[in-house]
Amino acid sequence: MSVVIEIQLPVNALTQHQTSLSVLIERAASGDTQAFEQIMILTQQRVMAMTWRMLGNDADARDAAQEVYLRVYKHLGRFRQDQDLFAWLYRITVNVCRDFSRKRHNHGERFMPMGGSAEVEALSVAVDEIGAEDALLQAQRRQLITRAIATLPHKERMSLILRDLEGLATDEVARIMKSSPTTVRSQISSARKKIRIYCEQCLKR
Amino acid sequence: MNCKRIQELLPLYVGGELDTEQLQKITTHVRSCEACLESANAYREVRQLIHGFEPPTFSDSFYAGLRKQVLGELETKGHSPIVPLLAGFRWPSVRWSLAAALLVAVCALAFYFSVDRAVEKQFVGPSPTVVRTTDELTSNPDLSRLKGSGAEKGRGNTPPKRKRVFGAEPGAGKSIERSQLRKEAEPLERPGKMVAGESPGNTVTSVAGTEDLPTRMLRMEIQTKDQNIRIIWFSAPPNNPDSLSDSHKGI
C-alpha cells in the first residue's frame, strides 16, 4: 500500500510577491513612508549581509545600510517596474560601500574585519551547540577567510562577494559593477588565487 | 592545453565560470595530472572557505533600530523621492547636454537679431529710389526684359516679401515705408514722369504701367549691390494714393 501525499504549492507565489513589491515601491515613491518601511523589512537582511561582507564590521555595515536606504528612498522615482529590485539594491549598496571604503582609505584605514557584539554572540551560541573544539575551528576558519578577503582590492572583493556569496551570475555581477563579464571573471579568478595563496601562507606558519 | 594554462583556468573551473569545451578539456586533464588535481582541490577548499564568510545574525531589535534611524533621517532632512523627469537633471550627461543646447539656442537668437538689425540698418539711408515708367522700359531693352519677366505672367498682385541682403554696406539701400510709397505713388499716375534718386550701392526702381498694358501695374525693382541679385515685385497701383489697398500692405 502506498500513500501519496500531494503538496500543492502556490502557483503564483512569485508573481504575487513581485506584484506586492511593485505596489509597495509605487506607494513609497509617492512618499508613503509606511510602504517604504515594508520594503526595508523585506530587504534589510540582504542589505546588511552585503554591507557587512564588504566593510567587515558591524558599525560600518550599519551606517552603510542606513545610507543605502536613504539613497533608495531618494531615487525610488527612477526605479522602473521591469527592473529587478535586488539587482538595483545591490548596485546602490556597491556604490555606498565603495564610497565608505574611499573615505576609510583617505583616513588611512583599511578593511576592518570582525569585532562587534553580534560576532561574540554568534560565537557563544556556536560553542553551546557544536562543542568547543568545532566552534574554535570554525572561528579560526572564519577569521582566516575574513582576513584573506580583507587583503583583496575593492573591486575584486565586490565581484567575489556578489558571485560566490550572493550567488549571482557573472553577467549580473558585471551589470551591477558596470563592467564586462570578462573583467568580472578575471577579478574573480584573481581573488580566488590571492585567497588561496594567503591561506596557504597562514597555514604554513 | 598544458599545465600552465590549466593552472590559470582552475580558479574559474571550480566556480563553473568556463564554457563547456574548456570545462571538458580541463576535466580530462585533471584526471590524468596529479599536480593539477591537487591544485583544483585546493581551489575547491578555498571556495568552501569563502562560503563560510557569513555575517553574524543580527537581532530584530537591531533591524528595528536601523529602520527607525532611516525613517527619522527621512523626516528630519525632508527627503523626497525624485520624480523621473527631475532625476534626469542629476545625471551629468543630461546636465551637459542641456547646457550645450541652451548655449546653442542663445547663440542662434543672438545671431538672428544681430543680422536682422544689420538688414534694418542697411535699408535705411539716402533715398536711392528710381521710379521709371513703362515708356522708359520699352526704350531700355534691359529694363523691358525685366518687365516681361514678371508682369505678363500674372504675378503682379502677389504681395512682395521682404528680402534680406547680406554683406551689403550699411546705408546702401532704402527700406520702402508705407508713407514713402504714398509720396512715390503719385508720379506713377502720370506716365512719362520719372523720379530718381542716387544710390551708392543698391538701386530701387519703381515702374508704373500705362494704358498700353492690359492692366495698370506697379512694378518695383530693387537692385542690390550684387549685380546678380535683383528684387522685383508687381502690384496694382492704388486708385487713391492716400488710401493704400490691401495689396500694398506687403510693401
Is A173 part of any domain?
Answer: yes
Which is nearest to A187 in space by CA: B84, B71, B17?
B17
Which three three-digit cell numbers place residue B74?
527621512
The reply to whether A158 and A100 lie within a common domain is: no
pLDDT at position A65? 94
Residue pLDDT tens, chain B, 251 long: 788 889 899 999 998 888 888 889 999 998 999 999 999 999 999 888 888 888 888 999 999 999 999 999 888 876 555 555 555 555 677 778 889 999 999 999 998 888 766 665 555 544 444 444 445 545 555 544 544 444 444 444 444 444 444 444 444 444 444 444 444 444 444 443 344 444 444 554 544 444 444 557 788 888 888 888 888 888 776 665 554 544 444 44
Length of chain A equals: 205
Query: CA Rg, chain A, in Å?
Result: 20
Cβ atoms of residues B131 and B205 within 8 Å: yes
pLDDT at position B219? 80
Cβ atoms of residues A151 and A141 within 8 Å: no
Number of domains in chain A: 2
Which three three-digit cell numbers place residue A38?
515594508
Residue A14 burial class via C-beta count within 10 angstroms: exposed 0-12, middle 13-18, buried 19 and up: exposed
Q: State the pTM of this model.
A: 0.56
pLDDT at position A131? 72
In angstroms, the Cα distances linking A152 to A110, A160, A162, A195 are 11, 10, 14, 8
Helix (H, G, I), strand (E, B) or coil at B10: helix
Question: Which CATH number belongs to the domain containing residue A108 in this structure?
Answer: 1.10.1740.10
Say yes or no: ipTM exceeds 0.85: no
Do residue B49 and residue A195 have CB atoms under 8 angstroms apart?
yes
Residue-wise pLDDT for A76-126, tens only, equals 888 887 888 889 999 999 999 988 888 876 665 555 554 444 444 444 455
CA A115 from chain centre, in angstroms, equals 18
Residue-wise pLDDT for A34-87, tens only, equals 889 999 999 999 999 999 998 888 889 999 999 999 999 988 888 887 888 889
Do residue A31 and residue B63 have CB atoms under 8 angstroms apart?
no
pLDDT at position B231? 85
Q: Which residues of A touch B55 (CB under 8 A)?
A: 48-49, 52-53, 61
Which three three-digit cell numbers place residue B236?
496694382
The reply to whether A101 and A37 lie within a common domain is: yes
Question: Which CATH number belongs to the domain containing residue A196 in this structure?
Answer: 1.10.10.10
pLDDT at position A81? 79
Pair type for strands B203-208 and B129-133 = parallel
Q: Chain B: nearest CA to A165, how far in angstroms? A: 6
Q: Does B63 touch chain A (CB under 8 A)?
A: yes
Q: Does B243 touch chain A (CB under 8 A)?
A: no
pLDDT at position B11? 92
Do residue A48 and residue B12 have CB atoms under 8 angstroms apart?
no
Which is nearest to B126 in space by CA: B165, B161, B175, B183?
B175
Residue-wise pLDDT for A134-181, tens only, equals 788 888 888 888 889 988 998 999 999 999 998 899 999 999 998 999
Structural domain boundaries enclosing A168? 151-205
Strand order in the sheet with B218-223: B195-196, B129-133, B203-208, B218-223, B230-235
Q: Chain A: nearest CA to B50, how far in angstroms? A: 6
The span from the CA of B14 to the CA of A196, in Å, is: 13
**Chosen from B38, B45, B66 to mutate, greatest number of chain A CBs within 10 A:** B66
Is A57 part of any domain?
Answer: yes
Q: Which of A64, A81, A112 is the last residue of a domain?
A: A112
Pair type for strands B129-133 and B195-196 = antiparallel
